[in-house]
Structure 1
Amino acid sequence: MENGDVSPLNNCQTKEARRLYIYDIGTKLNTPGQYDIGGTYTEDESDLWFFCSTSLCPGYQYLLNVFVCHRKPGIISVGISTSDVLTYKVNIGTVTNNVLPDSLSWQTLRAVEADEINHIKTFCFTEMDMVRMKYETLIVPLSIEWEPKCFVSDSVIKRVKLKHNFGELLTNESSKDFELKTPSGKVYKIHKLILAAQSPVLRKTLKNLNEKSLLLDICDNDLELLLQFFYTGTINNVSEQNCIQLLEMAGRFELRSLFLFMQDVVKKQITVENAMDIAIISEKYKLEDMQKNIFQFIKEHPQVLNTESWKKLNDINLTKKLLENIYKGSI
């Protein structure tokens, strides 16, 4: 076992992590369930814990889903093998290890609370792979960057949106298999898979729902904006929309991507009257970047402290942080 190996037998340092060791992979794939892989540490302090779940799909496709549990809040970039093709075997003593390709695909994951879980990647194996792996060990190449500095250009954002834009599906009625209803009685035909993929809240609801429709307590306009974002990753004329309403919607349905999308919009919509409302939302959902912008605005516009929202504020932690920021360096 080397320093960069993540397994239950090794206290791997986060910055040195290079491989996930999944023992007895054949048995795990044949027995659907959840299994621990191992953790990474900074000295003796736990940073991350990796685990996997397995399931069998029609056609004898065996799925291996890899997850990470963040032991503390923070941002990480994780690179993991891009392919599920078993390229070669490494024999170590009497143990045979199956190794996935070294090329990595990267994603940035954020945890706003301790013990938050993120899905990293799903690998799919065939019956032939199962025969090959049997009771052996699977090695998955991995790399971790803790608190990476990410600077994303507009051109990159546009390319990502193009690759993840399901806008055509939104207008394609023939393939829609689910309905959302609003209190007004309006019915929206949508794709159940899109709902489950975009929102953890809706995914949990749909998991326990046998009907082909769902009533949401939401106005028609808000639902239309939500569906537009689900399918296209953007909202047309977003600067004309109520940013507080959109932030509340992002919180209600646990839409991290919408929070990120709204960062720049909020900067342009902050006013003396709504600043405290946005500050409350930023504290509620741990939106640190947004909160810095709000605090700076309030510092530059002290008249915010004369508004009704400030007078009614009863969040002690937010009040303390806000006052510390306003009077920082002035004492």
Structure 2
Amino acid sequence: MSAMDEGNKGQEAISDGVVFGHRVCQTKDAQWLCLDNMYQKFYRNNLYDIGGTYIEDVSDFWFLYRTETVGDIFLLHLLVSNRHETSFNISVSFGNEMNIDKKNGIVYLPKDLKELQFSKQKEMSQNYITTYSFTDLDVDALMDRKLYIAVSFSDIEDKGIKQEVIDHVKVNHDFSILMTDPICTDFVIESADGDKFRVHKVLLLAHSEVFKAMLKEDTAESQNNYVKLVDVCTDDLRGILEFVYTGTIKDIDAANFFNLLMLADQYNLKGLRELAQYTLSQQLCTDNALEVLVVADMYNSDILKQTTLKFIKKNVASLKSSTFKEIKNADLIRELCEYIVPKD
């Protein structure tokens, strides 16, 4: 199978709008950069070509990257060249945590984007975008897989609201005062332990599609302005509500993020799910690594799962945990063994 055929296979697996080689991808449609043979290229430091975007049939932007090794860290410097004088905004994956799609043989970086602005760039300017750093375990995971980096363009004169403005508004709209002084509440949530919390429907609706469906006019919960969550203890419910009202959980060490990851998945609380994954990755130790792995696998937290697998490979003492004997998922055990056993 040719390189282009392989690229097309990866493109179909992940999405449309893939920049790869000389395939025509319109600038406005660009969603992913496809980098192939990365395992070999990380060990052959050089400048490599990715491909470009077009306006109709005219070349618009062209992407390149340089690989570099510093000690045991592998660097990928991402660059873009504009084919004509222009100003533009470009957004790319923010962070280097890899998500592995074994079924389709691809690896992709986070879809959370970081925007950069380039003003009045001369024709054929080569612009530095960002640098991603990887460990040797990351590079091993790229063997026989393509790497996808999320990307998008926007006009610098775009009159829409900028992300930094949105972030500023979020920071300055902390509703924690409504938790301590719950005025104008219109709904009550009761925990499994019998503790009741007076809350505001509008905040529940804004953060969870599950709560949104629950609070439709024709549901019993909506008509009674009350629901009891029989599977959520008081501490966990308090954690959920704190996140809904403030966008975070202040006492990280006191919260049970194993439970909160499960509940974030159950109630479709995306932001809380991301916070739980990040916190659990930061709390990894030999005593809890296997438990984190099981939870990450159970709730399809691919980034957390890969982080945990890398931790276990570097800290094999984690396998001595009693949790190892309790894992009933044969596929997970097989995946763990394949990951930690050195390749030939």
Alignment of 1:143-154 (within 5 A): 147-148=149-150
Whether contact under 8 Å (2:236, 2:255) holds in the other structure is no
- Match status 1:290 vs 2:304: yes
SS in 2 for 1:273: coil
Q: In the alignment, is residue 230 of structure 1 matched against residue 244 of structure 2? A: yes
Which position in structure 1 is the counterpart of 2:175? 166
Distance in structure 2 (CA, Å) of the matches to 1:290 and 1:269: 11
Counterpart of 1:204 in structure 2 is 213
- 1:196/1:157 CA distance change after superposition, 3 Å: closer
Q: 1:282 to 1:176 in 2, by over 3 A?
A: same
Contact 1:239 1:265 in 2 (8 A): no
The structure 2 residue matched to 1:316, chosen from 316, 322, 330, is 330
AA partner of residue 254 (structure 1):
N
Which structure 2 residue ranges, 5 or more long, are not aligned? 1-15, 19-24, 33-87, 94-98, 102-147, 153-163
Other-structure match for 1:34: none
RMSD: 3.9
CA contact (8 A) 2:242 2:249 kept: yes
Give 1:213's aligned residue. 226
Quick one: structure 1 residues 193 and 266, their matched pair in 2 at CA, closer, same or farther if it must change by over 3 Å? same
The code of the aligned residue for 2:225 comes to K
Q: CA deviation at 1:215?
A: 0.6
For residue 273 of structure 1, report the CA deviation from its aligned partner.
2.8
Alignment match, 1:178:
187
Give, in whole Å, the separation in 2 of the partners of 1:157 and 1:288.
Answer: 28
Per-residue deviation at 1:257? 1.0
* Alpha-carbon offset, residue 305 of structure 1: 2.1
Measure how far apart 1:212 and its partner are: 0.8
C-alpha change, 1:321 and 1:311, in structure 2 (3 Å) is: same
The answer on whether the counterparts of 1:277 and 1:309 sit within 8 Å (CA) in structure 2 is yes
- Alignment CA distance shift 1:265-1:156 (3 Å): farther
Q: Aligned pair count?
A: 203
TM-score by length of 2: 0.50
In 2, the alpha carbon distance for the partners of 1:298 and 1:171 equals 42
Distance 1:149 1:289, change over 3 A: farther
Percent identity, aligned pairs only, is 25
Runs ≥4 residues deviating over 4 A: 12-15, 155-158
Displacement of 1:178: 0.6
SS of equivalent residue, structure 1 residue 189: strand
Q: Find the counterpart in structure 2 of residue 188 from structure 1.
A: 197
SS in 2 for 1:250: helix
Q: Is the 8 A contact 1:181 1:215 kept in 2?
A: yes
The alpha carbon displacement at 1:294 in A equals 0.7
Q: Which amino acid aligns with 1:148?
A: A
- Sort the Cα spacing of 1:215 and 1:235 in 2 relative to 1 into closer, same or farther, 3 A: same
Report what 2:109 is aligned to.
none
With normalisation by structure 1, the TM-score equals 0.52
Which secondary structure state, in structure 2, belongs to the residue aligned with residue 234 of structure 1?
A: coil
Q: For 1:176, give the aligned amino acid.
A: T
CA deviation map 1:20-39 (0-9, x unaligned): xxxxxxxxxxxxxxxxxxxx
Gaps of 5+ in 1: 1-11, 20-39, 43-102, 114-145
CA contact (8 A) 1:164 1:233 kept: no
